[in-house]
Amino acid sequence: MASTTPPPTGAAAPASVDFGPFTAHFATQRAQGNRPEQQDETLILAPLDLAPVLPGRPKTLARVTPLALFAVMDGHGSDGGKASRSVRDALAREAPVHFAAAVAEHVPEDGDAEDVAAVERAIRQALAATVLAVHGDLTTDAGVDCYLSGTTLVLAALTARSVHVANLGDSRAVLGRVRPDGSVEAKPLSNDHTCSNKEELDRVLKKGARVERSATEGAGDDGPLRLFKGSMPYPGLVVTRALGDTASTAIGVLSTPELTDHALDVSGGGGDTMLILASDGVWDGLPGPTEAIGVVQRVLAKAPANGGVSGRVAEVASKKLIKAALAGLDKRQIDDNVSNVCVLLTKNEGAQ
């Protein structure tokens, strides 16, 4: 039976960060499943420390911090594991540089402290610039053959007011909300970039891609739509956006992320309670995003009796997600890696 594996060396241990109105508690877990190689990676940079790259700007730092980044990568191809690990390391290296540059441009030291829009613009610009730089780093990494290999990326930036997401591929970010009646709701913060997405399909077809449904072990003829180059038997790619995959750019596969954002409501009696980032193995193993939210909500419901919500509670929830996803994949006879970052949001006492 597959078991969870610890995050890579250097990844954050279960922890919490105080954002003022709320505290974020987070953890990450991965499992190889029955695949011969683990090609998923995760990364937590919380808090993202901009002080060393923005010296002498205390007012600017106060307006943009705390800030946290969470990421999930799902590699594919023969060098998919190398690609996801390369992206993980590049993100940790590039993010502080590009967030500092965007903040310096849009959030001046003597600027209006109430100009929230400037901070939002800075974060959007920083996410796009970071992903661009990471793609460049990956495709010039001599240790990775990116011609027919690459990785998805879902990257979330969390602030005291909002969550911003940059996404390429079919890993997903989902926000968990509690309705007034106590039931849970899943709010997708990303769109899948596959041929099931009409806009994505139209683009690759216009670029000359051949799109065919190929049988997948356990799925029979119901396998995913894949992209091919003319009459060639490659690349056979499922996603229409990814990092790497240089052979696929000619048929419309993009390395440009789709950006989305969501204004947070952490009201305590309801509203936003969790953020889940996960590879497609998790979403394939569970009936729907609401099921994933329900798995975490059941852990949250027990937290008050066990000392309250903490990073360790997030770790339990993350492990439960892995276990539920693996069980679902087994039922569907699908082999895949699974990984997630689980972020729990709790209102701080006295916060408005």
- Give the pLDDT confidence score for residue 207 in this predicted structure: 96
Q: Is residue 225 within 8 Å of 238, Cβ to Cβ?
A: yes
- Give the pLDDT confidence score for residue 345 in this predicted structure: 96
For the chain, 352 residues long, give each residue's pLDDT as a single digit of tens.
343 444 443 345 779 999 999 999 999 999 999 999 999 999 999 999 999 999 999 999 999 999 999 999 999 999 999 999 999 999 999 999 999 999 999 999 998 888 899 999 999 999 999 999 999 999 999 999 999 999 999 999 999 999 999 999 999 999 999 887 778 899 999 999 999 999 999 999 999 999 998 765 554 457 899 999 988 999 999 999 999 999 999 999 999 999 999 999 987 667 899 999 999 999 999 988 999 999 999 999 898 866 789 999 999 999 999 999 999 999 999 999 999 999 999 999 876 6
- Give the pLDDT confidence score for residue 216 in this predicted structure: 56
Of the candidates 71, 83, 261, 254, which has an alpha carbon nearest to the alpha carbon of residue 171? Answer: 71
- Rounded to an integer, what distance in angstroms lies between the CA atom of residue 302 and that of residue 10? 30
Question: Which two tokens mark 300?
Answer: 């949250």
Spell out the residues 6+ positions from residue 192 whose beta carbon is closer than 8 angstroms to its own: 169, 170, 172
Of the candidates 152, 156, 166, 168, which has an alpha carbon nearest to the alpha carbon of residue 275? Answer: 156
Question: Which two tokens mark 163?
Answer: 């969550």
- Give the pLDDT confidence score for residue 2 in this predicted structure: 41
Verify cis geometry, omega within 30 degrees of 0, for the bond prior to 304: no
- Give the pLDDT confidence score for residue 268 in this predicted structure: 67
- Give the pLDDT confidence score for residue 344 in this predicted structure: 96
- Give the pLDDT confidence score for residue 14 in this predicted structure: 79
- Rounded to an integer, what distance in angstroms lies between the CA atom of residue 351 and that of residue 271? 14
pTM across the whole model: 0.93
* Extended strands (E) in 152-217: 153-158, 162-168, 172-178, 184-188, 209-213
Spell out the residues 6+ positions from residue 52 whose beta carbon is closer than 8 angstroms to its own: 96
Task: Note the helical H segments in 198-352.
Answer: 198-206, 280-285, 289-302, 311-331
Question: Which two tokens mark 83?
Answer: 């690609």
Q: Which pairs from 100-104 meet CB under 8 Å and 24+ separation?
A: 100/50, 100/53, 100/54, 101/126, 101/129, 102/126, 102/129, 103/50, 103/54, 103/60, 103/64, 104/54, 104/57, 104/60
- Give the pLDDT confidence score for residue 7 in this predicted structure: 42
Instruction: Give 320: exposed, middle or buried? Use CB within 10 Å, 0-12, 13-18, 19+.
Output: middle
- Rounded to an integer, what distance in angstroms lies between the CA atom of residue 268 and that of residue 263? 15
Residue with tokens 């052979």: 247
- Rounded to an integer, what distance in angstroms lies between the CA atom of residue 192 and that of residue 199? 11
> What does each C-alpha distance from 303 to 66, 120, 325 come to in angstroms?
25, 33, 22
Of the candidates 91, 72, 41, which has an alpha carbon nearest to the alpha carbon of residue 153? Answer: 72
